[in-house]
């Protein structure tokens, strides 16, 4: 990229003049704003923004942009990040027996749809579980988990995350609960996919439970992982209508489709710096 765009995300207590100050700083830097989105949360009094800009004539170096923006950020007490648009993040994929989300993410990565580098795959099932999937060029780590071995395996997982300098962990139907300590360590950079129903069905065979209760909608939710099981900030959701004609097996088939697309959209939004945490919620700026 001869003149790459930069993506600025920022949030702070809302007050007058923030957008004007940001725009002025970018203009004085020689930048041209390509996209600017903002949200004022009246409930929390917080201001959120995502700005995409590039040099109007000459490229703007990331370090130069940071130096120019720092005084504005300090003036408003902003928490912010700056990245090159399209820069590939280092991602670790984790899965268990069901491989539909894992296969989908690998496909989207290989065709260039997701700006990421898959640095490894971790599973509590052996490699032969995924005999039909190609992991060419991607290290596979088999970390079987029991109640007794969980601390040891999480320590090995942390070693992988640290050694590979992982930016994002994706639980692509990884069916082991992460400890509160590991969840806290990965706050804001670990995404999980979860079947979501009304009413909620927990435990084994949720689609079979839904069928027995005669639900009319099934869905899935992608969210950031926290110490509270399946209650982290929601990034993406989707639903599909079903009827009495659908068998449990058909619900499972439709559920797989929903889970794949919801997780992929959530991962894409994160990779493109479109997601900002807002307490127990998220702000997700659209494309």
Give the residue numbers marked as catalytic: 230
Separation between Cα atoms, residue 235 and residue 233, nearest integer Å: 7
Tell me 146's DSSP state. Answer: -
Q: Is 42 left (phi over 0), alpha (psi -120 to 50) or beta?
A: alpha
Residue 219: phi and psi, rounded to 5, are -160, -175
Q: Name, in order, each residue with C-beta under 8 angstroms of 127's C-beta and a sequence gap of 6 or more.
A: 135, 140, 142
Kindly state the helix (H) or strand (E) to which residue 93 belongs, with its residue range.
Answer: strand 89-95
What is the number of other CB atoms lying within 10 angstroms of the CB of residue 83?
A: 14
Burial 117-128 (b: 16+ CB within 10 A, else e): ebbbbbbbbeee
């Amino acid at each position: 990229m001869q003149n790459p765009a930069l993506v600025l995300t920022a949030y702070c207590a809302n007050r007058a003049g923030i957008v004007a100050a940001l725009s002025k700083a970018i203009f004085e830097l020689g930048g041209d704003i390509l996209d600017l989105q903002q949200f004022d949360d009246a409930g929390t009094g917080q201001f959120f923004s995502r700005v995409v800009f590039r040099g109007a004539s000459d490229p703007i170096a990331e370090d130069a942009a940071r130096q120019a923006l720092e005084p504005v950020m300090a003036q408003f007490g902003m928490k912010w990040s700056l990245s090159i648009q399209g820069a590939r993040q280092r991602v670790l994929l984790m899965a268990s027996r069901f491989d539909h989300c894992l296969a989908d993410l690998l496909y989207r990565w290989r065709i260039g749809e997701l700006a990421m580098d898959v640095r490894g795959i971790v599973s509590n099932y052996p490699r032969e579980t995924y005999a039909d999937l190609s992991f060419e060029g991607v290290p596979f780590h088999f970390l079987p988990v029991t109640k007794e071995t969980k601390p040891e395996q999480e320590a090995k997982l942390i070693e992988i995350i640290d050694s590979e300098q992982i930016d994002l962990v994706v639980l692509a139907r990884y069916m082991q609960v992460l400890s509160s300590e590991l969840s806290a360590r990965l706050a804001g950079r670990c995404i999980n996919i979860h079947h979501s129903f009304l009413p909620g069905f927990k435990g084994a065979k949720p689609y079979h439970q839904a069928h027995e209760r005669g639900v009319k909608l099934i869905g899935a939710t992608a969210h950031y992982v926290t110490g509270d099981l399946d209650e982290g900030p929601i990034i993406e959701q989707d639903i599909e209508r079903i009827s009495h004609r659908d068998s449990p097996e058909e619900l499972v088939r439709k559920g797989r489709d929903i889970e794949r697309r919801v997780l992929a959209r959530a991962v894409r939004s994160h990779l493109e710096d479109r997601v900002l945490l807002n307490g127990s919620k998220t702000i997700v700026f659209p494309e």
